[in-house]
Chains A and B, each alone.
Chain A
């Protein structure tokens, strides 16, 4: 489904700040996989997602999705295949536009846009139904400006927008990290629901080990731009937070003490 082969990515080439963020990374996702990605700060998790989304190209290596080489396809062109939710709740929506206008933009992802009216009455009914499923009461606020919504509501809306046109791959970049615990839980539940209902292939980056274990059928741990641990199926379901911590201790030779990870 998604194949990454021998990917390298270095930022700030030939400067004192040079940093190799992705170091010979190879990854192969099967259709319907729900993969959680964990790792400390600077492990390259977000960079991995950005490379797949096409925010920047890799220095070397290749990326293909469903058999199509997308290594150098511009971001806006591969958006046709991808649903994305960002860490920052402000990033996924247009604040000065109405909820229904945002949905209408997402509804046309991967389609030709012309001089037809930007939103039709027929699709509004679809949006009402979909918003109803979220259970946040947004269906009665279709013409509210998105900027007036809370972070959790915006993130739930972004999730809906990312999946309104079924994507081949759903990319979730710590999409609950900026939310309070109970809202984060709610958004994660919704994520689980939507992924299961549409049988979506999903790559979810998280800082939270418990979440990484709880969700998905496969778990990847990254460290210094490499995948250092990759479990799936039954082995993953038996995994405990202490196992993961131990893994981290081994690869980082004890220097690993990321409080953000320990606290979660």
Chain B
């Protein structure tokens, strides 16, 4: 029963993190750009969302969209650093991420903000439902259920939106830019703009995800973005390995959603088996390194083994 409960919780968590993984997917796979801005913009979304609810007493839904806008700006800054000032891709992201740390501290005025005692998005929805006692279930089950449905809903909306956007003329240009920017320029497209747009989109989604995660976990921390890019990559590669044959763009994104959930389930199960929480990051890093290298190794494997080839 306990195991089922932790899988249930992990599923809900994986779904709230799906939009984050989709944001990383846009830069890492579509733009072919390892963007570290995400670590800053994730915490940016969280900071804005927490301050909106705790300090300003505003609607948590509104905070998600303000976070989205702020993330767009953060991504655009990285894009400008890279395209206009010619700073290498990874360094541009690191600079923005580094700067965002101070900005996030400024926004919150303190290193972390707790939503306890205030209406988070999850509690607002829970208030609309009958209480757990009336339903005859544990409160935690009801609350996790709300998180799960909210996460799933937002993920599906994001996937539908991205499917539409990357099918449009502008979206096609962004996809092609990640493939071959010389060709895209030769077709009359300003590739500086497509790169900036892609980075802005990605970080907008990531900040939105940061806000959503803050609303579900009940607090924001200036360090909440640290190392999250690895979690995003883990979700992407797990999804890709599971759906190797996926060609359709929507299916690929659904695979990432599954990847995000499965990553959380794996972590939950391993923690239950007694892995020290402190070792979790090392574990994740190893999993991602393996998952990224195995497809390449398989590709280079000869079709027959040597003995057969000699015959």
Q: Which residues of A pack against B, CB within 8 Å?
A: 53, 74-77, 79-80, 82, 84, 86, 90-97, 101-102, 104-106, 108-111, 113-119, 161-162
Contact = CB atoms under 8 A, between A and B. Distances in A.
A40 to B, nearest CB: 25
A105 B187 contact: yes
Contact of B175 (A97, A110, A115, A117): A97
B170 interface: yes
A94 B189 CA distance: 14
B247 to A, nearest CB: 9
Contacts of B176: 94, 97, 101-102, 105
A95 to B, nearest CB: 6
Interface in B156-199: 165, 167-173, 175-176, 179-180, 182-191
The 5 lowest CB-CB distance pairs between A and B, nearest first, are A94-B179, A79-B188, A118-B172, A113-B169, A94-B176
B185 A116 contact: no
Interface of B: 165, 167-173, 175-176, 179-180, 182-191
Contacts of B167: 117-118
Contacts, number: 84
A115 B183 contact: no
A118 B168 contact: yes
Contacts of B171: 118
Contacts of B190: 74, 76
A86 B191 contact: no
Contacts of A77: 188
Contacts of A74: 190
B169 A116 contact: yes
B232 to A, nearest CB: 20
B249 to A, nearest CB: 11
B185 A79 contact: yes
A96 B179 contact: yes
Contacts of B175: 94, 96-97
A260 to B, nearest CB: 24
A104 B168 CA distance: 11
A202 to B, nearest CB: 16
B179 A109 contact: no
Given A76-B190, A76-B191, A109-B187, A91 B182 contact: yes
B180 A90 contact: yes
Contacts of A92: 183, 186
B200 to A, nearest CB: 15
A84 B172 CA distance: 20
A53 B175 CA distance: 23
Contacts of A93: 180, 183
Contacts of A109: 187-188
A95 B179 contact: yes
Contacts of A80: 188
Contact of A95 (B168, B180, B182, B184): B180
Contacts of B165: 115
14 contacts: A53-B186, A76-B191, A79-B189, A91-B183, A93-B180, A97-B175, A97-B176, A105-B184, A109-B188, A110-B188, A113-B169, A114-B168, A118-B172, A162-B186
Contact of A117 (B168, B186, B187, B189): B168
A116 B168 contact: yes
B214 to A, nearest CB: 31
Given A91-B180, A95-B179, A97-B176, A118 B188 contact: no
Contact of B169 (A76, A102, A115): A115
Contacts of B187: 79, 105-106, 108-109, 161
